[in-house]
């Protein structure tokens, strides 16, 4: 982020298995240490796998942008964590969010498949 290499190489980076919960703390640390806000870089060069069960999912997803999210499931992790215990109902949560107006159908399409297609096709 600080070196300029992201812009120079137009990198596309996928952060997998980390969710979104770490972003606010990392952002604050970057601002304090370098006076650089990583959020604009996250919104241009990064995609993040996430699960809708994650605490603060909606607020973090809206701040980051649904065009940066990649749907993830913890199948076949089993009941070892909240995602694994919900593994057969992952998209149900997203469908409920559409039904109650928490997210739009466009957001749903982005996180469930369109972002993957754009990355694959390098759109």
Taking the C-alpha atoms of residue 114 and residue 65, their distance in angstroms, rounded to an integer, is 13
* Strands of the sheet with 13-15, listed across from one edge: 13-15, 46-50, 69-71
Alpha-carbon distances, residue 76 vs 32, 53, 63, 73, 122 (angstroms): 39, 16, 29, 8, 29
CB within 8 Å of 91: residues ≥ 6 apart? 71, 112
State residue 23's pLDDT score. 97
- Give pLDDT, residue 75: 59
The pLDDT, as a whole number, for residue 79 is 63
Tell me the pLDDT tens digit for each residue of 60-83.
999 999 999 998 876 566 566 555
Provide the pLDDT for residue 85. 60
Angle at 19 between CA 100 and CA 75, to 5 degrees: 80
The mean pLDDT of 108-112, rounded to a whole number, is 95
pLDDT tens-digit readout, 18-68: 999 999 999 999 999 999 999 999 999 999 999 888 889 999 999 999 999
pLDDT higher than threshold 60 for residue 116? yes
């Amino acid at each position: 982020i600080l070196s300029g290499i992201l812009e120079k190489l137009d990198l596309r980076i996928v952060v997998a298995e980390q969710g979104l919960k770490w972003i606010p703390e990392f952002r604050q640390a970057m601002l304090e240490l370098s006076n650089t806000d990583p959020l604009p870089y996250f919104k241009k060069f990064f995609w993040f796998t996430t699960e809708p069960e994650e605490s603060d999912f909606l607020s973090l997803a809206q701040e980051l942008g649904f065009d940066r999210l990649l749907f993830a499931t913890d199948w076949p992790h089993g009941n070892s964590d909240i995602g694994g215990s919900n593994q057969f109902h992952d998209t149900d949560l997203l469908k409920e969010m559409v039904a109650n107006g928490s997210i739009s159908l466009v957001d749903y399409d982005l996180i469930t498949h369109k972002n993957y297609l754009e990355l694959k096709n390098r759109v």
